[in-house]
């Protein structure tokens, strides 16, 4: 089951800029089924834990500040080859390098504020989904 799932967050910039509906439409049109979905806001402790892999990077403080400044939309998504196909749908980390038609090309504003997250492996998809949703919230 986990191999067909990924985890995403519409980041605070995407929510603030009013892109939630359009982004969910694109996710739906690309064939992903919603397993879990909610609007929530991460605390500093949450964001430091979620992005712990980056805690030595120079942008870590900025990233935590950004990810906690407003609500996000968190979701678990299901589809064949979910992790890789979702990374293709969202595009490169830097929107300036993202392919035409990708979510980051259309809705991101900068390298730091890039509208959306997608898990980078099946293992992280499970860890990240379970970070935000209990078993009873995943259908």
Binding site for Mg ion (CB under 5 A): 120
DSSP assignments along 9-65, one per residue: EE-HHHHHTT-HHHHHHHHHHTTPEEEEEEEE---HHHHHHHTGGGTTSTTHHHHHH
Candidate residues 46, 112, 127, 131; the one interacting with ligand RTP per rule CB under 6 A: 112
Candidate residues 10, 117, 125, 132; the one interacting with ligand RTP per rule CB under 6 A: 117
Three-class SS state of 138 = coil
- 127 near ligand RTP (CB under 6 A): no
Q: Are 103 and 95 in contact (CB under 8 A)?
A: no
According to DSSP, the residues that pair with 88 across neighbouring strands are none
Min dist CB 133 to ligand RTP, Å, is: 17
The Cβ of residue 108 has, within 10 Å, a number of other Cβ atoms equal to 27
- Cα dihedral value 39, 14, 41, 52, nearest 10: 120
Candidate residues 40, 88, 93, 109; the one interacting with ligand RTP per rule CB under 6 A: 93
Which of 33/87 has CB closer to ligand RTP? 87
Out of ligand RTP, Mg ion, none, which partner does residue 114 contact, by CB within 5 to 8 A per kind?
ligand RTP
Active-site annotation, residues = 117
Binding site for ligand RTP (CB under 6 A): 54, 59, 63, 93, 111-112, 114, 117-118, 120
């Amino acid at each position: 089951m986990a191999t067909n799932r990924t985890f995403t967050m519409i980041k605070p910039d995407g929510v603030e800029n009013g892109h939630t509906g359009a982004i969910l439409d694109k996710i739906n049109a690309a064939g992903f089924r919603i397993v879990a979905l909610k609007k929530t806001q991460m605390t500093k402790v949450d964001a430091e834990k979620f992005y712990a892999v980056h805690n030595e990077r120079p942008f870590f403080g900025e990233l935590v500040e950004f990810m906690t400044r407003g609500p996000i939309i968190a979701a678990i998504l299901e589809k064949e080859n979910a992790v890789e196909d979702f990374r293709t749908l969202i595009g490169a980390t830097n929107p300036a390098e993202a392919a035409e038609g990708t979510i980051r090309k259309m809705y991101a504003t900068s390298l730091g504020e890039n509208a959306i997250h997608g898990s980078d492996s099946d293992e992280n998809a499970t860890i990240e989904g379970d970070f935000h949703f209990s078993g009873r919230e995943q259908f």
